[in-house]
């Protein structure tokens, strides 16, 4: 689709969705940080029992898992933007993007494992 005389707009139109999701996940993460800070403030002084107690409830597990999913999505968009800005050769960029997805997916799986250990 041509916009104006020079600008050719093409693509799958995932740009706007990702732009919006980057902001939505940012709000989720900011909210989670406040929730966690509140939980820590309420559980003080922090020893092992107090700390693990925070993550023992199902509600906090779910909130933390949602935060990790938001983190993975947010991190993906941010890293993808960085690769798109600085890495020109397509093959290298696609490899880096694939590596980023695997990196974040592995971290997400690990986070689930840790959360349900408590």
Partner 1 sequence: MSARRVIRNISIPDLVRYRLPVPGMLSILHRVSGALMVVALPFVLWLFELSLRSESSWAQLRRGAAGWLVRIVLVVLAWALVHHALAGLRHLLLDLDLGVDRAQARRSAWIVFAISLPLALWAALIIFGVL
Any contact of residue 48 with partner 1 (CB under 8 A)?
yes
Q: Kindly state the smallest distance separating residue 33's Cβ from partner 1, in Å.
A: 7
What span, in angstroms and rounded, lies between the C-alpha atoms of 37 and 58?
18
In sequence order, what are the residues at sequence separation of 6 or more whose Cβ sits closer than 8 angstroms to the Cβ of residue 67?
28, 29, 32
Size of the site for partner 1 (CB under 8 A): 24
Any contact of residue 69 with partner 1 (CB under 8 A)?
no
Any contact of residue 110 with partner 1 (CB under 8 A)?
yes
> How far apart, in Å, do the first and last CA atoms of the chain sit?
53
Any contact of residue 94 with partner 1 (CB under 8 A)?
no
74-76-77 Cα angle (round to 5): 70
Report the residue from 9, 40, 52, 57 that binds partner 1 according to the rule CB under 8 A: 52
Any contact of residue 27 with partner 1 (CB under 8 A)?
yes
């Amino acid at each position: 689709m041509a916009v104006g005389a020079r600008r050719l707009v093409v693509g799958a139109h995932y740009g706007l969705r990702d732009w919006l999701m980057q902001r939505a996940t940012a709000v989720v993460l900011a909210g989670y940080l406040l929730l966690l800070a509140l939980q820590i403030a309420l559980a003080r002084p922090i020893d092992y029992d107090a700390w693990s107690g925070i993550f023992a409830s199902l509600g906090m597990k779910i909130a933390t898992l949602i935060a990790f999913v938001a983190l993975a999505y947010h991190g993906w968009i941010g890293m993808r933007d960085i690769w798109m800005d600085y890495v020109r050769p397509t093959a290298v960029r696609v490899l880096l993007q694939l590596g980023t997805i695997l990196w974040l997916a592995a971290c997400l799986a690990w986070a689930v494992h840790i959360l349900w250990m408590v």
